[in-house]
Amino acid sequence: MQALSRRQLIVLVLLTLVWGINWPIMKLGVTDFPPLTFRMLSMWIGLPVLALVLVWQRVPFRIERAHWREVGVLTLFNMLVWHTLVMLAIQTLSSGRTAILGYTMPVFSAMIGAWWFGQQLAGRAWGGVAAAATGVVLLLWHELTRLSGAPLGVALMLLAAVAWAFGTQMMRRTKLPESTLTISFWMTVITLFWMTALAVAFEREAWVWPTLPVWGAVLYNAVGVFAFAQVAWLSMARDLPPIASTLSVMFIPVLGVFSGALWLGEVLHWQDWAAVLLIMFAIGTVLWPSRSTAAH
């Protein structure tokens, strides 16, 4: 396992906190507000902040013409599909369930790495895959047993997790010479125009002036998510081995579940507790280094 520097450890802790508590914050923001428009506003405000970070760090904005195709593919899987489906799903699911389902990503990433990229997957990892699948079934079963259940929301979140997993695998393998900050900036630009087009096309008639709580959620996402967390995650995916991000990924859904219960009064059923334990176990078995790896 690669040792983390003090700076990397601080970034990891901040990323965990920012993304973990963002799930109930997003749920609050979209409860009485169009979800695609919520994401659009967050990105319009967050993009200038991200641009100022590049200027402050003296990072160039330019990307070579030959590299734009790869940037586009990275954007599709890491941001376009993820942000679109998450914003549609979170209206129908509790923030805690959305977080749990979204952070099945490491398990899907391990499966994609084994099947698509030829990575060797340890036997225990397949046990983790089975545990994660069981956790998802528990959540889906609970949704189907309710008259107001939202199996479509579960399906959207799982599809978003698969896309993000594939994008993370691609980010780990990219040979682009540009800075991660530069790549993140242009990925955000592309996603911003995509979300703006969707919001105008499908939600324009539902537009209302945001309330104070909605503005708070928008600003939190603009600065916390797009100017910091998104860049931090892409940097870890690109520069560090998978285990370095495991510490963060394992605790984000836990924070999402319990902060949602605390702040929004979301009721936790036994299926939620079981799903948290199963998926946390799955992430650990998939990404925690083996003894032979740790010995090196």
Q: pTM for the complete prediction?
A: 0.83
CB of 5 within 8 A of CB of 54?
A: no
For 280-290, write each residue's pLDDT tens digit: 777 666 556 55
CB of 153 within 8 A of CB of 102?
A: no
Separation of alpha carbons 50 and 56, rounded Å: 10
Question: Average pLDDT, stretch 195-209?
Answer: 96
Q: Tell me the CA end-to-end span of the chain in Å, nearest whole number.
A: 8
Domain coordinates in residue numbering, the chain: 6-295
**Token pair in block for residue 104:** 């099945």
CB of 24 within 8 A of CB of 95?
A: yes
Q: Residues with Cβ < 8 Å from 132, sequence gap 6 or more?
A: 104, 107, 278, 279, 282, 283
For 226-281, write each residue's pLDDT tens digit: 999 999 888 887 776 555 555 556 677 778 888 888 888 887 778 778 877 887 77
**Token pair in block for residue 183:** 């790549």
Separation of alpha carbons 160 and 78, rounded Å: 9
Neighbours of 270 (CB within 10 A): 9
The distance of Cα 241 from the centroid of its chain, to the nearest Å, equals 18
For 172-198, write each residue's pLDDT tens digit: 889 999 999 999 999 999 999 999 999
Separation of alpha carbons 87 and 206, rounded Å: 15
Residue 70, pLDDT > 70, answer yes
Give residue 54's pLDDT: 95
Q: 48 phi and psi, to 5 degrees?
A: -60, -35
Q: Which of 91, 253, 84 is nearest to 159 (CA)?
A: 84
